[in-house]
Amino acid sequence: MVAPVIVSTRAATGQREDMSAPIVAEYAERIGFGCRPPVIIPDGEGVLAALSELLSAVAPEVIITSGGTGLTPDDLTPEFTEPLLDKRIPGLMEAVRVHAGRTRPMAAVSRGVAGVAEGTVIINLPGSPQAVREGMEVLVDILPGLCDQVADLRPQNDWGDGTDHQETPQEG
């Protein structure tokens, strides 16, 4: 299950329609993930409360935020995401920025972070629909395996039983 969190003061106050959550849902569906209706909140401090609520009440496999990753004073999504993370996944955001940067050099200034909190993958994407689409183009190939890894879903013989299995020469 994917839970989109749209961080946009204009969308939260009804000044504009959110166009990012449908893109998240479209890509989630492509890889067989369900998608919750989006949580739409203003830029700023509400990010922490929204993420905390989703983690405790819903515990989705993935939370994708859209917005609040830029450089304006109220772009605080990474600052409120990072304290929740148990493990960070910097390479994920590097891949998103590289992919988007092929056509939009300003993608390099996105400050989004990614990581795992309480067994849920959290990914911060920029707020524009184009940036969300570009991010999801990268994530669609990574999320299934990433979620399996976070849930530790792998055959037992791939991870062993915790003992050292070095070959011992047989006496003969």
Q: What is the pLDDT of residues 70-91, one digit of tens each?
A: 999 999 999 999 999 999 999 9
| Residue 92 resides in a domain | yes
- What spatial distance separates the first Cα and last Cα of the chain, rounded to whole Å? 56
| Residue 171 resides in a domain | no
Q: For the chain, what is the domain count?
A: 1
| Residue 140 resides in a domain | yes
pTM score: 0.88
Per-residue pLDDT of the chain (172 residues; tens, 9 = 90+): 999 999 999 999 999 999 999 999 999 999 999 999 999 999 998 999 999 999 999 999 999 999 999 999 999 999 999 999 999 999 999 999 999 999 999 999 999 999 999 999 999 999 999 999 999 999 999 999 999 999 986 554 554 455 544 544 555 5
pLDDT of residue 165: 45
| Residue 170 resides in a domain | no
Burial of 31 (C-beta count, 10 Å sphere; 0-12/13-18/19+)? middle
Instruction: Tell me the residue range of the domain where 81 lies.
Output: 2-151
70: CATH:
3.40.980.10
Q: Tokens in use for 52?
A: 């905390």
| Residue 69 resides in a domain | yes
| Residue 161 resides in a domain | no
pLDDT of residue 160: 47
| Residue 172 resides in a domain | no
From residue 19, alpha-carbon distances to 38, 45, 74 in Å are 11, 22, 20
